[in-house]
Structure 1
């Protein structure tokens, strides 16, 4: 409960599938891994780092995740850092779940001042190479991607933008990736990632509609491998640590966007490791 009525920051997708016991970590390494020697800022990827940053800056942070257990360790870490937070379960595939989650947030925390949409999906990444073409991708797999990348942010925006507009201030920040810029064959199942383009377009539309009402909307393109327990253990990250992105620094970029002066808002920001050519 936000008993002191701090400003509220909601992080949709506060944990990472690459955290120590995440889905991708188990898929890539065959088991959960030990993260006790990792800095606390990188243990839950971008979502966890953003949550910790806003908590340190005096926000009451709401961690949303499909299962509360996924964020229990992150909640504990924030509290140990003298921050305040709560966990709310939210399934982006379900409109009813989204509505219920934000009803709970408004009742127990208050209307969000900041919404960071950090939800991601990894469908298709474990497809074998011979199944990489669109014709082999199951429709239900595509529907999950579409729910998370286009329908989900639309429904979340409907929940938070009215209060931001009435207040005359607020930030709606989208965490996106290079697939939102152009389609290219980088991994199996890549055709599932074109809904990311719709996510980017939604940010552009909301900028047109809500900027004049004092609401800052921005699309953040995170173009690279993000440090976390599961990615740090990958051979690529170990052989080329210079291409690994620090989620703590990514979180600082999100906080910077929220605190920008209205006279010079950034509406799209691309973050790329220095040795890597940016995607366009």
Structure 2
């Protein structure tokens, strides 16, 4: 039995990295998948790959920092597939290399708007649709940066720490109504976003060295963790922030 058979899954940031890996995996597990992202060409490619492997999928262009876009992506999902069972709120941006006094207010606002407010807005529109059909499962993509402290990443880490708090609150608010809300916390994962700030081989090697397992994660590995939490195999799990970190030794 496929773990998401007959489920409808919405994945934000499903055009690349962990989100794309999850979109393909969820489709293989029987879900009808909605890929929501800002970059249409990449999103359409993900959808094409799902269809090519025999799945059902559609793309919705969405900027999750905008409430109207979050409402529209959920509305489009329900209009096409009739319901919403699973949401993987994965879209996010990174920030690094600036102390608190060096970081510009505009960059702080941008990172928090996408990484934290964007998940709040997504859940605000996702949860009511899940309640209409008896419940559902939400997985939010936080980060190892939501569990540890890394200097120079104040906006990113504040957003990811906050996302874990938001996840736990939502989990308690809707546990009795059969909506489970959990988070995954990946460490270094070999994605285009990570490559954007580890182009320096020495910096990348230092990052790899913080993982006792001896390598970065492949995007499919955190995607599998998200699949587990979204599936009925995790039916008694809610409010969890699950490290997917290769034994990370970050402080």
Tell me, yes or no, whether TM beats 0.5: yes
Aligned residue number for residue 192 of structure 1 = 155
TM-score (norm 2): 0.84
Q: Is the 1:168–1:214 Cα contact (8 Å) retained in structure 2?
A: yes
Aligned residue number for residue 170 of structure 1 = 136
1:10-89 equivalences in 2 (<5 Å):
10-16=10-16, 45-89=17-61
RMSD: 2.6
| Matching residue within 184, 196, 204 for 2:168 | 204
Tell me how far 1:133 sits from its aligned partner: 2.0
Q: What is the CA–CA distance in structure 1 between the aligned matches of 2:136 and 2:200, rounded to whole Å?
A: 38
Q: Return closer, same or farther for 1:75/1:233 CA change in 2, 3 Å cut-off.
A: farther
Q: Is the 1:146–1:195 Cα contact (8 Å) retained in structure 2?
A: yes
1:91-240 equivalences in 2 (<5 Å):
91-122=63-94, 124-125=95-96, 132-185=98-151, 188=152, 190-193=153-156, 194-223=158-187, 225-228=188-191, 231=195, 235=201, 236=204
Count of residue correspondences: 236
Tell me how far 1:192 sits from its aligned partner: 1.1
Q: What is the CA–CA distance in structure 1 between the aligned matches of 2:244 and 2:43, rounded to whole Å?
A: 25
Q: 1:193-234, CA deviations, whole angstroms, 9 ceiling, x for partnerless residues? A: 2121111101000111111111111011112x2124674987
Q: Return closer, same or farther for 1:182/1:249 CA change in 2, 3 Å cut-off.
A: closer
Q: 1:219-268, CA deviations, whole angstroms, 9 ceiling, x for partnerless residues? A: 11112x2124674987336x879321022232222111122456631522
Q: Is the 1:112–1:160 Cα contact (8 Å) retained in structure 2?
A: yes
Q: 1:131-177, CA deviations, whole angstroms, 9 ceiling, x for partnerless residues? A: x2222222221111111122111111111111222322210101111
Q: What is the CA–CA distance in structure 1 between the aligned matches of 2:56 and 2:24, rounded to whole Å?
A: 10
Q: 1:24-72, CA deviations, whole angstroms, 9 ceiling, x for partnerless residues? A: xxxxxxxxxxxxxxxxxxxxx2111110111011111000111311212
Gaps of at least 5 residues in structure 1 are 17-44
Where 2:83 maps in the other structure, the secondary structure is coil
TM-score (norm 1): 0.76
